[in-house]
Structure 1
Amino acid sequence: MIADLPDCTTRDISKALVRLRSQVGAVTLGRVMTLIVVTDEDNADAAVDAAAEASREHPSRILALVRGSGRTASRLDAQVRVGGDAGVSELVVMRSFGELASHAGSVVTPLLLPDSAVVAWWPGEGEKDLAGSSVGMLAGRRITDVSLAPGPRRALRVRADNYSPGDTDMAWSRTTRWRALLATALDQMPFESVQSVTVKGASDSASADLIAAWLGVRLRCPVERIDGPAGVGLMSVRLDRASGPIVLERAAETSQATLTQPGQQPRPFPLPRPTTAQALSEELRHLDKDEVYRRALKHLDLAGAARK
């Protein structure tokens, strides 16, 4: 069920939520968090759809803040969705204009679920200082997606320079399956040290940069980052050992990868690039601070002393 609320207040939104829940018989007992989505008009529909899809695994109250023009009179327009129109969540899409567009934190505060986690998501690079922003100060977990930024690798460097505990990026969650397969391969005979690592990924792949940094930290060996064509994501990882290399490679424009190890037949694995909703859902599984991500981010070498 949907209710449109033009030129409204947060009190009007709260009343509409109560009314719609009563009409559709929905309850709030299953809501595990408040998910705040901070976006602009161009990306609003895609962001709201991804948040609603992710909420099927993580029932939430979704508060989508769409920034409007700051040059008009202050106004708040809202749309409230409960029940089938919001998946398994309550969804409030708010469009703020004028001076109100600069006070996002004040807008969402009265609508936060009591005694539950608060997660904020910026579908893009987000503000420079996430933790210090009005929304970021409300959230224990702050998610960005630098892959949607005009310059993903530059945006990742901004995240590294302004990191605060609780920050994370969906470029990291997109490496989860890769990291699991590589860790499993190294946990088999022979238990040899890795002498060097080669990571190949798109020239604009922040995920490739992060997995290269993670491997450098974990394996304490030289890492070479090779650029491939833009837009193809993470392409391959090669771990060189005395007995021969371990190679995990995904063919361009496919979801199929092959793991090659000395003395074993090549093994195929499904390794599709996660959608925005899937990457967001992966991030929402972990509401604590991600120390592994912090260490990888700290050891980024985007200047590329060992890049080709």
Structure 2
Amino acid sequence: MIIDLTDTSSRDIAAALIKARRTVGSASGLVLTLLVVTDDEHFDEVLEAAQASATAHPSRVIVVTYVDGDEPFLDAEIQVGEGHPGDLLILRLHGSLREHGDSICLPLLLPDSPTIVWWPNKAPDNLAEDPIGSLADRRITDAAGAPDPQEALVRRARNHADGDTDLTWTRLTRWRALLTASLDQTRATVTGACVRSAPDNAPATLLAAWLSERLGVSVGRVDGEHPGVNEVVLTTDKGDIVLSRVREGTAHYRVPGQPDRTVALRRRPLTDLITEELQRMDADDVFEAAVQRVVKDLGAS
């Protein structure tokens, strides 16, 4: 069922949602509210990822877009049933209503369940103080979706608050897991490290900061020929540990004392990234330490 509301209010949206649910059946088992703040340019891709994540985490998805204009008013679209695993609300805030997103969205949140806000592209400087961000238990950004990913990551690091995370960190999950496993296999002492990547790659900056923070060594940066992170080399007293992406989806994995291996290391789609982030509701202390290291390294440069 799809319901369109023009020049409406939060109260009218909530009433229409209740009425729709009486028609198609109650939405039992919803575990969270996912608030997505995006723009028209990326709307379709973001909506697809948000809806797909709801199949793993049944949720009320509220997509907010801002529309420039002189007159403040609210348009809404409600979708329930139709194969949706939860509720889908699309809100278009016109004019000065963008400054009141908290009062508009608050009555539409699921009670007694977590609220996560996701900015897939541009994001405010201080997430926790943003009107919509202030409603959230967790706040997710994506520096890779910003016009300048490196600058966006630095802003995230300088304004980090408990509950913040960024999908540049999630993109590194497989890299971090393989590098951690390699040290478990060798029990070697790491004396240095190097990250090869595309110039000014935000995930590579975060990866280098994480390695430096966790291992207590200097981490070099080298420009690579391919997109994203190309290779990580850990220099140890037993030989080099090397994780090198040789082609899309595949990497060479070398650990001293072990046979060389080929491992899967694909670039993960947006749906996978946001679905993984919705699995945890607590603050990510390791991510926080890594972004603090980014700020510390900038201060030393």
TM-score by length of 2: 0.94
Q: CA deviation at 1:222?
A: 1.2
Aligned residue in 2 for 1:220? 216
Please give the alpha-carbon distance, in whole angstroms, between the structure 1 residues aligned to 2:165 and 2:225: 26
Please give the alpha-carbon distance, in whole angstroms, between the structure 2 residues aligned to 1:102 and 1:45: 24
Q: CA deviation at 1:72?
A: 2.8
Q: CA deviation at 1:174?
A: 0.8
Q: Find out whether 1:255 has 2:279 as its counterpart.
A: no
SS in 2 for 1:114: coil
Which structure 2 residues correspond to residues 28-39 of structure 1 after superposition, within 5 A?
28-39=27-38
Aligned residue in 2 for 1:180? 177
Q: Find out whether 1:295 has 2:261 as its counterpart.
A: no
Please give the alpha-carbon distance, in whole angstroms, between the structure 2 residues aligned to 1:111 and 1:281: 22
Please give the alpha-carbon distance, in whole angstroms, between the structure 2 residues aligned to 1:99 and 1:300: 35
Aligned residue in 2 for 1:196? 192
Please give the alpha-carbon distance, in whole angstroms, between the structure 1 residues aligned to 2:271 and 2:198: 22
SS in 2 for 1:51: helix
Aligned residue in 1 for 2:271? 277
SS in 2 for 1:186: helix
Aligned residue in 2 for 1:83? 81
Aligned residue in 2 for 1:43? 42
| Alignment equivalent of 1:160, drawn from 157, 160, 164 | 157
Q: CA deviation at 1:84?
A: 3.0
Q: Find out whether 1:206 has 2:205 as its counterpart.
A: no
Q: CA deviation at 1:262?
A: 2.3
Aligned residue in 1 for 2:131? 134
Is the Cα–Cα contact under 8 Å of residues 151 and 204 in structure 1 kept in the other structure? no
Is the Cα–Cα contact under 8 Å of residues 41 and 68 in structure 1 kept in the other structure? no
Give the share of equivalent positions with the same residue, in percent.
41
SS in 2 for 1:158: helix
Please give the alpha-carbon distance, in whole angstroms, between the structure 2 residues aligned to 1:149 and 1:201: 19
Q: CA deviation at 1:23?
A: 2.1
Please give the alpha-carbon distance, in whole angstroms, between the structure 2 residues aligned to 1:228 and 1:102: 43
Please give the alpha-carbon distance, in whole angstroms, between the structure 1 residues aligned to 2:300 and 2:268: 30
| Alignment equivalent of 1:169, drawn from 166, 188, 195 | 166
After superposing on structure 2, the runs of 4+ consecutive aligned residues of structure 1 that deviate more than 6 Å are none
Q: CA deviation at 1:305?
A: 8.0
Please give the alpha-carbon distance, in whole angstroms, between the structure 2 residues aligned to 1:233 and 1:83: 39
Aligned residue in 1 for 2:143? 146
Amino acid at match of 2:236: R
Please give the alpha-carbon distance, in whole angstroms, between the structure 2 residues aligned to 1:59 and 1:229: 41
| Alignment equivalent of 2:104, drawn from 104, 107, 131 | 107
Please give the alpha-carbon distance, in whole angstroms, between the structure 2 residues aligned to 1:155 and 1:18: 39
SS in 2 for 1:172: helix
Q: CA deviation at 1:229?
A: 4.6
Alignment deviations for residues 55-114 of structure 1 (CA, whole Å, 9 cap, x no partner):
111111111111111x231121111111235x3121100111122122111110110110
Amino acid at match of 2:4: D
Please give the alpha-carbon distance, in whole angstroms, between the structure 1 residues aligned to 2:243 and 2:29: 40
SS in 2 for 1:273: coil
Q: CA deviation at 1:227?
A: 2.3
Gapped regions of structure 2 (runs ≥ 5): none
Which is helix-richer, 1 or 2?
2
Please give the alpha-carbon distance, in whole angstroms, between the structure 1 residues aligned to 2:266 and 2:259: 22
Pairs aligned (count): 300
Aligned residue in 2 for 1:58? 57
TM-score by length of 1: 0.92
Please give the alpha-carbon distance, in whole angstroms, between the structure 2 residues aligned to 1:102 and 1:117: 23
Gapped regions of structure 1 (runs ≥ 5): none
Please give the alpha-carbon distance, in whole angstroms, between the structure 2 residues aligned to 1:193 and 1:89: 49
Aligned residue in 2 for 1:6? 6
Q: CA deviation at 1:151?
A: 0.8
Q: CA deviation at 1:29?
A: 2.6
Amino acid at match of 2:192: S
Alignment deviations for residues 220-249 of structure 1 (CA, whole Å, 9 cap, x no partner):
11101222357x112111111122111111
